[in-house]
Structure 1
């Protein structure tokens, strides 16, 4: 099945990867990445931001257009503060959705009689009409002033078509009825004529104005999140697939230790080892989160980030079995690898991250499965992989994979009574085995070696 140009522009990212990266929800109840980036002022703006985060860009052209818009907004932030108020936006939205009487009468006498009836017998409706029309006029006036700002005449990227459409809609002849002052003092007849124009004749136009305002609200939110979190705008590159970063960190970590990333067609696989708690999973999530943000057109948590856009981003970190469907943990792992393999087999540009795969089976099967997958991944051009594992025995076999595997590790310092982690990425493969030490440090053996205390006797009287 062929894909449309729009579909080709969208990054493939499935529900499991959304869950792994905590894009919209977090199992611990903490803020999601959406919450982390959401600085919108309106409900509609938040809806647009969510839609953007559900469908990141996959094409360099689209990503760069968003980047240009965000850079411009950041540089001209004071002008974007003149956008319509929340009151005007939400008031107009309610006005268009509320069920109110329509006085769309061509006959002047019938319109006059209908106007009197609304005013005399349906005062609650009349005041809703007045309140809604005032909000819509405030929206139009604010957008007029905003779109006319001189610095916005040459706005780049995504902003250019948004502002062009905004100006075209605001220039419609009917909107000449909207004065440059508040309409609260207008009489009943004049106010209902204004309502007829806004809510009947130009309802679709008002809805479109709101939609454009929501798009702008979402872009401003992305720019504000960049500034608030100190994100750096990445460089979008052309050519064979690669991703390079200096000073990469996970945005959720307090006082993070930054690390580099280097994936390219000479080293398509990063093979990551090290003991538990040393930082492997956080490193994988940090890179995947940065790449995801880069495909949104946003900045990333790094000192420098360069990438060639991919078509699919897969993460396999927090797999679980599925009792209801009869899917064991190992089968869930196999299905996850299959999803990656299908995208690779189609010839798509894929970046996949796998955190300790095949731990749902015995060590021998896990070793053979890992090696077989790594051998095949290493031969696929225009695809990149991160693969963490405790199977350090794989190191003897990785050297024959045409140097496509770059081995890195995290380690723990074992001096003193407790383990210490510096979370710094090092070249090579870790041979640390700390499982027994962790169990001892947690006092587990001490608890199990203690003689059991006999259960207290319960007297017959107590019973």
Structure 2
């Protein structure tokens, strides 16, 4: 199972009730079951290359078809209600139950309401099975090696086996005698209830993937190439990666090699360090969902999990400070690495909950300890530039996001990734430009 936790999901803005999130960007589902299915995809990234490629393929395929005829939000709600109707416990057979029901309550409003629900539901279930049987059968004949389609077809076949085709045609035509209604109600809600629920699951999966296909259709997204083994020196290559939540994002090229799998990213506040980390993390995360990513091109190896520590807060209820929460996050990561897990790690301004000297020492020691875990990737951002000279001997790749200082235009943030260490001292520059010290000196001289 792919390793991802609530903190990482929050840091990558996967699901956020306060603002628009990744789920919202990809949610064009029609049914409630389809929406729930899509949500489950976001909570359970894939680890197997075959599963990822299957999902990539079916999303591509869904971009060129239309299955909205069979996707009806309210119909599926009614059918879920119908499948949940129980048979009375005193009825030993399908016939005895309905005979008792008809003789006792034939003229009642409740009977007529239930009779209408049952007849309509049998007809609609037959329509779904027939539609999926034809649609998936055609896809399977064209792409017989696609295991996901074969699995879908097998689930449809399990419902159709032992069903009389002549009677099934009457179900499709909505011509149900009392005898047919009794027979197929008992069959659908009892004998084949689990099989029909599996068909509903297929429908919800198709709705979820069709929704993703429609949301991404025509947008500048690309399906990444996937490697499930060490391809050599390159672990991740992203060309023109950008942030999905920015209106006019700056694109960056990212290349992470196994010999340089630990980045030390520096830059002043507002230069875009956190945004860049989230951009790279989002690309890796979406790649493991089998979804397209915001980039011109991407190739990546697979990981066992993603761990992000970007917007970590205090845990007041547990009596844990920000710094102690950071310590616990690092400890959990250490345990995963000790188990041999291949992790993709994002750490933004780590150890900012302690004093500068302590944070510097802790950062140096952490980077020293992370050396040797060559199958994982570690992207660390920090304001602490003084330790850069020590890190060069620890196989750390120095990257920065620069800023241009203009006396008239002020700060110009490029948001462009560059090699080396950020040397900008924006604090003093801003204080001097705003004449803060001059104002204080003049005020002091007047006293």
1:262 Cα deviation after fit: 1.5
Distance 2:430 2:84 in 1: 60
Name which of 191, 200, 214 aligns with 1:201: 191
Q: Which residue of 2 aligns with 1:278?
A: 271
Q: 1:442 to 1:330 in 2, by over 3 A?
A: farther
Is the CA contact (8 Å cut-off) linking 1:118 and 1:126 kept in structure 2? no
Q: Which residue of 1 aligns with 2:152?
A: 163
| Deviations, residues 345-365 of structure 1 (Å, cap 9, x unaligned) | 222111111111111111111
1:446 Cα deviation after fit: 9.7
Distance 2:81 2:273 in 1: 49
- Is 1:55 the equivalent of 2:19? no
Pick which of 225-234 and 174-183 moved more. 174-183
- Is 1:352 the equivalent of 2:365? no
1:118 Cα deviation after fit: 4.5
Unaligned stretches of 5+ residues in structure 1 = 1-9, 452-463
- Is 1:92 the equivalent of 2:79? yes
Is the CA contact (8 Å cut-off) linking 1:40 and 1:218 kept in structure 2? yes
1:198 Cα deviation after fit: 2.3
Q: 1:443 to 1:134 in 2, by over 3 A?
A: farther
1:429 Cα deviation after fit: 0.7
Secondary structure at 2:119 match in 1:
helix
Distance 2:54 2:319 in 1: 45
Q: 1:58 to 1:202 in 2, by over 3 A?
A: closer
Distance 2:280 2:97 in 1: 67
Matches within 5 A, 1:106-255: 106=93, 111-112=98-99, 114-121=101-108, 122-149=111-138, 153-154=142-143, 156-157=145-146, 159-174=148-163, 176=165, 177-179=167-169, 182-237=172-227, 238-239=229-230, 242-255=235-248
Is the CA contact (8 Å cut-off) linking 2:155 and 2:195 kept in structure 1? no
Q: Which residue of 2 aligns with 1:290?
A: 283
Q: Which residue of 2 aligns with 1:429?
A: 421
Distance 2:434 2:5 in 1: 37
Q: Which residue of 2 aligns with 1:39?
A: 28
| Deviations, residues 7-36 of structure 1 (Å, cap 9, x unaligned) | xxx22111110111111115xx21221121
C-alpha RMSD of matched pairs (Å)? 2.9
Pick which of 182-191 and 301-310 moved more. 182-191
Is the CA contact (8 Å cut-off) linking 1:95 and 1:133 kept in structure 2? no
Secondary structure at 2:81 match in 1:
helix
Q: 1:108 to 1:232 in 2, by over 3 A?
A: closer
The alignment's TM-score, normalised by the length of structure 1, stands at 0.85
Q: 1:216 to 1:93 in 2, by over 3 A?
A: same
Unaligned stretches of 5+ residues in structure 2 = none
1:61 Cα deviation after fit: 2.8
Is the CA contact (8 Å cut-off) linking 1:321 and 1:327 kept in structure 2? yes
| Deviations, residues 288-339 of structure 1 (Å, cap 9, x unaligned) | 0110000011111011111110112110101112222221221111111112
